[in-house]
Amino acid sequence: MERCATRLADGRELIYYSARDAARAAVAVPDARVPRAAVAVTEVRHDPLGGAPVAYATHRQDRTHLPPAEECPLCPSRAGRHTEIPAADYEVAVFENRFPAFSGGAGRCEVMCFSADHGVSFAGLGEERVALVLWAWTDRSAALAKLPGVRQVYCFENHGAEIGVTLTHPHGQIYGYPYVTPRTARALRAVAEHRERAGANLYDEMVAAERADGRRVVRESAHWIAFVPHAARWPYEVRLFPRRRVPDLAALDAAARAEFPGVYLDLLRRFAGLFGPGAGSTPYVAGWHQAPSGIAARQREDFALHLELFTVKRGPGKLKYLAGSESGMGAFINDVLPESAAQRLREVHA
């Protein structure tokens, strides 16, 4: 695999990844646009009652919103139409977000384009391309984790208009948070308390319990297990764990990496077929939970890398809205039993 980095006209970093020695040719094409002045300013405030940070990035109000396909900023550049990707073709490309949620040395935000093909979805990619994406996720996670203003790295994809996607080109994002996210902080506390109380790893016991029960397991292979969690918050929610506990993507072994593309594509295609023909695309969020940087060695060792995949769709034409209870009190009420969700996902022809 090949990795080549360059700079866009305004100084933002752009990196091409290729499985076929195409990155070197892509990086040779310069950004022909006139540089724009940087306007990204982010402020992070702390909520004393909620105990969580809140980021303010007012420049994002002006970000590109659902442009027509011929004006997509993530497609390759062509004569008379220059985009964020100067090359005429690419396999996987990563660049610093022009409208970042975090900036100025306190965190970093990147965009990852999974394909130059505007009309393909992640579920429509081949296994070779998914392997390249996994390598790029791993490479960028390691690079961002080393930055002094980054505490936690989150690679994720938002798919579907119902999720709030503003660009329909197949892409995801990588956030380098300047703090440990509230959800991860809660998980770290729970894992530490369980270690002190029971002398065992909470993640390991959770995965073992799901395997023993079996009712919520969607897919199991030699190196991965996917299940609907016992207390799922979303109508259809799956967590994908490597069978060998590791703290982050960089720690995955070669066997788990080799098996991941087939397992993940199977899950995405099951999600796509959840509601049957004519129901339209299934919107989803998929993201990697990795151990934060700068935490104690014991905490890092106890953390378990996993991918979370969920949809806000609860039935044909029906969405799960985060209304009063969820938005106001953070108290989820689910309309679908986890056992029923897992059974449905097993039944879908991937």
Q: Please give the Cα distance from 235 to 314 (Å, whole number).
A: 5
Contact status, residue 84 vs residue 73, Cβ threshold 8 Å: yes
DSSP class per residue in 82-141: --SB-SS--SEEEEE-SS-SS-TTS-EEEEEE--S-TT--GGGS-HHHHHHHHHHHHHHH
Q: How many CB atoms are closer than 10 A to CB 265?
A: 19
Contact status, residue 172 vs residue 95, Cβ threshold 8 Å: no
Closest residue by Cα to residue 169 from 237, 99, 83, 288? 83
Cα distances from 305 to residues 19, 26, 77, 289, in angstroms, run 25, 32, 36, 6
Q: Tell me whether residue 194 is one of the annotated catalytic residues.
A: no
Q: Which residues contact 349 (CB under 8 A, 6 or more apart)?
A: 273
Catalytic residue of the set 159, 171, 289, 306 = 171
Helices (H), 157-287: 182-198, 202-213, 254-272
Q: What is the CA radius of gyration of the chain?
A: 20
Angle between helices 182-198 and 202-213 (to 10 degrees): 90
Among all residues, which ones are annotated catalytic?
Answer: 171
